[in-house]
């Protein structure tokens, strides 16, 4: 069952807001810039994690130093359509791998 576009935007915007709030609250060398539907996280090593909304597919896409990921909303969670990993778990791991810092986005 597909969701309507308004519902998708509500859910995806809430995720982006949660991510930026967690970074703001963390006492880490982690920074971000948000421009519209894109959040660009800069890790302490200078690498980036880019998160963006893909409206046409009703997905959230994440690009890390290791790989690209496409997340669909399934049973109340954003799940990678290839690996099955949950969005916040992947982001926690990516920040650890790229910057050596620990954060919990959930």
CATH code matching the domain that covers 5-99, chosen among 3.40.50.300, 3.40.50.2300, 3.40.190.10, 3.30.920.10: 3.30.920.10
Task: Enumerate the domain spans of the chain.
Answer: 5-99
pLDDT-derived band of residue 59, with 50, 70 and 90 as boundaries? very high
pLDDT-derived band of residue 2, with 50, 70 and 90 as boundaries? low
Q: Tell the residue number behind the tokens 């896409």, with chain if given.
A: 61
Q: What span, in angstroms and rounded, lies between the C-alpha atoms of 86 and 43? A: 20
Cα distance from N-terminal residue to C-terminal residue, the chain: 25
- From 86, 68, 69, 85, select the one nearest 77 (Cα to Cα): 86
Alpha-helical (H) ranges within 1-106 are: 5-25, 87-99
Mean pLDDT taken over the chain: 94
> Can you give the pTM of this predicted structure?
0.92
């Amino acid at each position: 069952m597909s969701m309507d576009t308004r519902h998708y935007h509500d859910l995806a915007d809430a995720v982006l807001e949660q991510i930026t709030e967690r970074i703001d609250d963390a006492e880490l060398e982690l920074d971000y810039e948000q421009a519209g539907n894109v959040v660009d996280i800069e890790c302490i090593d200078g690498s980036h994690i880019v998160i963006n909304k893909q409206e046409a597919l009703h997905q959230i896409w994440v690009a890390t130093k290791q790989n690209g990921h496409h997340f669909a909303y399934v049973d109340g969670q954003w799940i990678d359509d290839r690996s099955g990993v949950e969005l916040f778990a992947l982001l926690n791991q990516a920040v650890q791998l790229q910057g050596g810092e620990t954060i919990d986005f959930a």
